[in-house]
Structure 1
C-alpha cells in the first residue's frame, strides 16, 4: 500500500505541508521567534499594499491593531491542529503535539490577558 506511487506522492505532499506550517510545533522560544518573523513579514506587506494604494490582502495584519496571540490561535485552529492530529496517526509526533499544545496555551494565555504582543510585559523588580 505504501509503495503505490499515488500514496508515496500523498505522503510527500503531507510532509511538505506539515513542514510548511510547523512553527507552532516547535519549542516555545522558537515558536515565538517565528511568529515574530511571519508577523513582521505580513505587517510589511500590509503597509506596502496601503502605500501603493492596492487592495489589502490581510487587513488583520495592521501593525497598530493586530493581536499576534489571536492570529496564532486562529492559525493553529484553522491549519495546524487537525493536520498534525491526522499525521500523528501515521507517524508518532508526541513531542511535536506537546509543543503544539503548550504553545496554544501560551498564546491563549496572552489573549485572555488582552495582550497583543509576543510576550507578557516584564514584571517590575
Structure 2
C-alpha cells in the first residue's frame, strides 16, 4: 500500500495529538494538589449561615413594622428605583442600616475567610 502525503500528515497529526494529551495528563497528574480549604468553608457551612441570616432578617422585619413596610414597598419597582430608594432610606435611618449590616455580618465573615 502506498501512503499519499495527506495520509502521512493525518497519521503524524493524530500521533502528535495523542502525544500532547499523554504529556498533558502526565504533567497534570504530577502537579501538586490545591491547598486545603480553610475549616468551615463548605457549601453546608454557607447554607447554614445564609439560613441563619435569613431567619434573623425575618425576625427583624417582623419586629420593625416600618422597616418591613419600606422593604415591602420596593416590590414591583425597577432595580434602579429600588437602589435609589434603598440608599435614601438607609442614609435617613442609620440605626436600621447598622442593625441590618450586623445581621448580614456572618455572610461577610464567611466570604472573607473562605474567599
Band of TM-score, shorter chain: under 0.3
Q: Which structure shows the bigger proportion of residues in helix conformation? A: 2
Q: Which has the larger radius of gyration?
A: 2
Instruction: Compute the TM-score of the two structures, normalised by the length of structure 2.
Output: 0.27
The structure showing larger relative contact order (alpha-carbon pairs under 8 Å, at least 6 residues apart) is 2
Instruction: Compute the TM-score of the two structures, normalised by the length of structure 1.
Output: 0.25
